[in-house]
């Protein structure tokens, strides 16, 4: 190295060590907000890397964009953290992913300030102790793709406005304390819809007919208090259907199962009729136990390979793997 080059090199090193902010990528506004979030969460050990002396873009649990240097991902999970989701999360305007997941004691409502995060695509607040409603303001987050509020103590009914989100492809609201009906609008989501998971709640009333018009990857409405007809869901090309442990009552003989359906659990309902011949075509898992079915199990496909418990506790279902019909 030439002496002058060497000198300027040393100067740079000197400043880099002496003043950490010299090389900070972190946006000062974001840093201020993040430190407020840390304080609101009672300075947990989990956020020990959030040291004000250090560039916030190298702190754990977040990511800065390479182009804007703004924080676009905040993913706080699997830690011992107490408190409510701080309102300051709403002051990270570039956030696309917000996750507070599986923290020991996150309580209170789904933070209303989240409504300000209009760039949000992924919102995961699952496995906490959140209470209050699934808020209507979520339908203002027009870029939302993925919503997971599962495993909380949310109550009240599901806002039908969620179906207006143009890019939403997955909703998980399972394992909460939700009541009321499944919104009629839920058959009219715009795009492909891999996941609609509403199981383990207290949803009641009948399944909206519109759900039969939408092809889901995975439709799980199990362990609720849904009643009446469910035959419409078989009009779709949904691949995975779990309606078990409800109060559903319809004639299974009249149903035509699509070739796309590979997984079907209907146990613990009040379903009558007999198994349709179309069950032979594509099912790789079936459980119709604890219903009111009758008649011979169609022979073919995987139907004889399933354990007898897939069929037991029906009115008069018979044939392999159950005892032969009389």
Ligand X SMILES: *[C@@H]1O[C@H](CO)[C@@H](O)[C@H](O)[C@H]1NC(C)=O
Closest approach of ligand X to the CB of residue 16, in Å? 39
159 to 178, contacts with ligand X by CB under 6 A? 166-167, 177
* 164-186 b/e (C-beta count within 10 Å ≥ 16 → b): ebeebbbbbbbbbebbebbbebb
Residue number with CB closer to ligand X (50 or 216)? 216
Contact status, residue 209 vs residue 233, Cβ threshold 8 Å:
no
Q: How many CA atoms lie within 13 A of 51 on its CB side?
A: 7
Strand partners for 124: 99, 148
Choose the binding region for ligand X from 31-39, 44-52, 270-278, 302-310 (rule: CB under 6 A). 302-310
Site string for ligand X, 5-44 (x = CB under 6 A): ----------------------------------------
Q: Is 260 in the site for ligand X (CB under 6 A)?
A: yes
Cβ closer to ligand X: 12 or 190?
190
If the CB atoms of residues 169 and 274 are measured against ligand X, the closer one turns out to be: 169
Cα–Cα distance for residue pair 38/135, rounded to 1 Å: 25
Q: Can you give the three-state secondary structure of the chain, one letter per residue? A: CCHHHHHHHHHHHHHHHHCHHHHCCCCHHHHHHHHHHHHHCCCCHHHCCCCCCCCHHHCCCEEECCCCCCEEEEEEEEEEEEEECCHHHHHCCCCCEEEEEEEEEEECCCCHHHHHCCCCCEEECCCCCCEECCCHHHHHCCCCCEEECCCCEEEECCCHHHHHCCCCCEEECCCCEECCCCCHHHHCCCCCEEEEECCCCCCEECCCHHHHHCCEEEEECCCCEEEECCHHHHHCCCCEEECCCCEECCEHHHCCCCCCCCEEECCCCCCECCCCCCHHHHCCEEECCCCCCEEECCCCCCCCCCCHHHCCCCCEEECCCCCCCC
Q: Which stretch binds ligand X (CB under 6 A): 7-15, 272-280, 286-294, 317-325?
A: 286-294
The window from 221-229, 273-281, 295-303, 306-314 that contacts ligand X (CB under 6 A) reads: 306-314
- Least Å from the CB of residue 242 to ligand X: 11
Residue 218 interacting with ligand X (CB under 6 A): no
Nearer to ligand X, 143 or 185 (CB): 143
Total of chain residues touching ligand X, rule CB under 6 A: 24
107 near ligand X (CB under 6 A) = yes
| 157 contacts ligand X (rule: CB under 6 A) | no
Footprint on residues 44-83 left by ligand X (CB under 6 A): 82-83
Shortest spacing between CB 325 and ligand X, in angstroms: 20
CB of 3 to ligand X, least distance (A): 54
Whose Cβ is closer to ligand X: residue 26's or residue 286's? 286
| 307 binding ligand X? (CB under 6 A) | yes
CB of 308 to ligand X, least distance (A): 8
289 binds ligand X (CB under 6 A): yes
> How far is residue 148 CA from its own chain's centroid?
3
User: Taking a C-beta distance cutoff of 8 angstroms, is the pair 155, 131 a contact?
Assistant: yes
Under the criterion CB under 6 A, does residue 310 sit at the interface with ligand X?
yes
Interface with ligand X in residues 77-106 (CB under 6 A): 82-83, 105
Query: Considering only 3-11, 38-46, 66-74, 283-291, which stretch makes contact with ligand X by CB under 6 A?
Result: 283-291
Footprint of ligand X (CB under 6 A): 82-83, 105, 107, 142-143, 153, 155, 166-167, 177, 215, 237, 239, 259-260, 267, 287, 289-290, 306-307, 309-310
């Amino acid at each position: 190295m030439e002496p002058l080059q060497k000198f300027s090199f040393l100067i740079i090193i000197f400043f880099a060590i002496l003043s950490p902010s010299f090389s900070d990528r972190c946006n000062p506004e974001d840093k201020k907000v993040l430190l407020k979030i840390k304080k609101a969460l009672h300075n947990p050990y989990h956020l020990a890397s959030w040291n004000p002396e250090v560039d916030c873009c190298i702190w754990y649990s977040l990511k800065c964009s390479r182009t804007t240097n703004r924080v676009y991902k905040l993913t706080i999970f699997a830690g011992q953290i107490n408190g409510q989701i701080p309102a300051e999360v709403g002051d990270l305007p570039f956030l696309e992913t917000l996750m507070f997941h599986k923290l020991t004691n996150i309580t209170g409502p789904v933070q209303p300030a989240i409504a300000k995060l209009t760039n949000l695509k992924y919102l995961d607040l699952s496995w906490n102790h959140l209470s209050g409603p699934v808020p209507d303001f979520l339908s203002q987050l027009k870029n939302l793709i993925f919503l997971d509020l599962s495993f909380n103590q949310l109550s009240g009914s599901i806002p039908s406005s969620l179906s207006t989100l143009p890019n939403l492809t997955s909703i998980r609201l399972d394992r909460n304390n939700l009541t009321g009906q499944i919104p009629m609008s839920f058959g009219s989501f715009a795009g492909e819809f891999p996941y609609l998971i509403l199981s383990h709640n207290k949803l009641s009333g009948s399944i909206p007919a519109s759900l039969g018009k939408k092809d889901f990857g995975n439709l799980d409405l199990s362990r609720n208090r849904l009643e009446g007809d469910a035959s419409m869901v078989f009009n779709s090309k949904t691949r995975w259907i779990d309606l078990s442990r409800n109060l559903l009552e319809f004639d299974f003989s009249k149903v035509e199962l699509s070739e796309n359906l590979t997984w079907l659990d209907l146990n613990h309902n009040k379903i009558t009729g007999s198994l349709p011949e179309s069950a032979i075509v594509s099912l790789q898992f079936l459980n119709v136990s604890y219903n009111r079915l009758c008649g011979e199990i169609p022979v073919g496909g995987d139907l004889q390979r399933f354990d007898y418990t897939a069929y037991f506790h029906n009115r008069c279902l018979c044939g392999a793997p159950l005892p032969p019909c009389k």
